[in-house]
Amino acid sequence: MDNILRGKNIIVGISGGIAAYKTPQLVRLLKKCSANVRIALTDGGTHFVSELALATVSEERVYRSIFPPADTTGTDYTRHISLGEWADALVIAPATANTLAKLSAGLCDDMLSALFITLRPGKPVLIFPAMDGQMFLSPSVQRNIATLAAQGCIVISPESGELASGQCGTGRMPEPESILSSLEEALHCTAQDSAFYGKSVVVTAGPTREKIDGVRFISNYSSGKMGFAIARAAAQRGALVTLITGPVHLATPPGVTRLDVESAVEMHGVAQSFFKSCAIFIGAAAVSDYRPVAAIEGKMKKEMPEIELTLVKNPDILAEFGIQKAPGQLAVGFALETQTGLDNARKKLKAKNLDLIAFNFFDRKSSGFEVDTNIITLIESDGGTTELPQLTKYAAAGRVLDAIEKLFVQQAGINP
């Protein structure tokens, strides 16, 4: 990827969470990429990171209040408006419960909340909530996050791990490198020069449910987050994205056409109708490999001491596409492995005739189902591999799309 941050005007909004101590490092990374950085620090934020440190690394004064000192002259009176105009993107990290509440309600009693509503339409806003795990899960925080996401903000859920309280839970801010990658991805927004522009992309996501009877099913822990992140990032690059998803609790990314299904057979049926027309098929769903031979009508009663469930194989959706794809179409898969699985991933790439496979190791802490980060190794059909660091799923999605763009360019070289 080119240095998309060069010359870009980035505002870093910092509110009062312990993770604020990492923000000078984020600012340094942005400056290293030749971005222009301005900082809006809340009063709470000053308890965790010094204004002087931030001013030094950003080489700019730090903005806090919307009310300038009495001896102010010129444009400083309307700084909250000019900052909103100036910014190419706003990154709020960490975003506390209080800041989320203010932003979602449209309050503006400090520079960060005021410039949030003066930001020009279409400019990406990335929000990194970070707080105690119980606070993060509270209905009010979740409601405010949903409101901001519905407004088009890119809300990146916190990571799991040890928290400042000494407890373990979901609430940690991603590392500055990962925040930077997410921002780079967001800045790809509707880039007309992207190889994805105008291309039809189909993404499968989430788990499938295979009915045992009217009230029970076989499924897996897939949350759909990786597939949704891919769909969001592809749509931002200008692709025409169809997202075929199993049952998940996720909002549809902006500009994406979403088709909800339940079982593998249903997913297969819907996916098949795009096989001929799509340019790229990305299988990110955790499709159940087997289904009960027939679902029992109504609710099965526990009359028997033991029962046997006969399962039959489900269609392999991605393999079917890979094997019948026409020249110019690309097939991309994921390989979730619990063992040292690079070899298994390579086998899947070959067996399903894929152009690219993303191998991800399943540990449920930093990679795999449910969590918000992934550690991926990309394997191309010529055997070339690229190991990625731990990234937010959104940033990881961007890297997968970069690899697909590279394949397009190679293909265009072969068939100009």
Catalytic positions, please?
220
In whole angstroms, the minimum distance from the beta carbon of 80 to ligand CTP comes to: 46
In whole angstroms, the minimum distance from the beta carbon of 336 to ligand CTP comes to: 5
Sketch the per residue contact string, 128 through 167, with ligand CTP: x for CB under 6 A, - otherwise. Answer: ----------------------------------------
Residue 123 or 393 having the CB closest to ligand CTP = 393
The CA distance from 300 to 39, in Å, is 60
Site for ligand CTP in 259-278 (CB under 6 A): 264
Site for ligand CTP in 66-105 (CB under 6 A): none
Residue 355 binds to ligand CTP (criterion: CB under 6 A)? no
Residue 285 binds to ligand CTP (criterion: CB under 6 A)? yes
Residue 11 or 318 having the CB closest to ligand CTP = 318
Sketch the per residue contact string, 183 through 212, with ligand CTP: x for CB under 6 A, - otherwise. Answer: ---------------------x--------
In whole angstroms, the minimum distance from the beta carbon of 212 to ligand CTP comes to: 18
**Considering only CA atoms, which of 221, 213, 199 is closest in space to residue 411?**
199
Under rule CB under 6 A, how many of the chain's residues touch ligand CTP? 16
In whole angstroms, the minimum distance from the beta carbon of 231 to ligand CTP comes to: 14
**Considering only CA atoms, which of 334, 345, 398 is closest in space to residue 367?**
334
Stretch that binds ligand CTP, among 155-163, 181-189, 191-199, 282-290 (CB under 6 A): 282-290
The CA distance from 378 to 204, in Å, is 18
In whole angstroms, the minimum distance from the beta carbon of 337 to ligand CTP comes to: 7
**Considering only CA atoms, which of 7, 4, 160, 182 is closest in space to residue 93?**
182
Residue 54 or 378 having the CB closest to ligand CTP = 378
Residue 100 or 243 having the CB closest to ligand CTP = 243
Residue 289 binds to ligand CTP (criterion: CB under 6 A)? yes
The CA distance from 349 to 190, in Å, is 30
- Please give the single-letter amino acid code of residue 306: E
Stretch that binds ligand CTP, among 147-155, 175-183, 279-287, 303-311 (CB under 6 A): 279-287
- CA distance from start to end of the chain: 22
In whole angstroms, the minimum distance from the beta carbon of 348 to ligand CTP comes to: 5
Tokens representing 312? 């039959």
Residues 6+ apart with CB under 8 A from 169: 132, 133, 134, 136, 160, 163
> Other CB atoms closer than 10 Å to residue 274's CB: what's the count?
16
CA 156 to chain centre: 7
Sketch the per residue contact string, 310 through 349, with ligand CTP: x for CB under 6 A, - otherwise. Answer: ----x-xxx--------------xxxx-----------x-
Residue 115 or 205 having the CB closest to ligand CTP = 205
Residue 113 or 314 having the CB closest to ligand CTP = 314
Judged by the rule CB under 6 A, the positions of this chain that interact with ligand CTP are 204, 264, 283-285, 287, 289, 314, 316-318, 333-336, 348
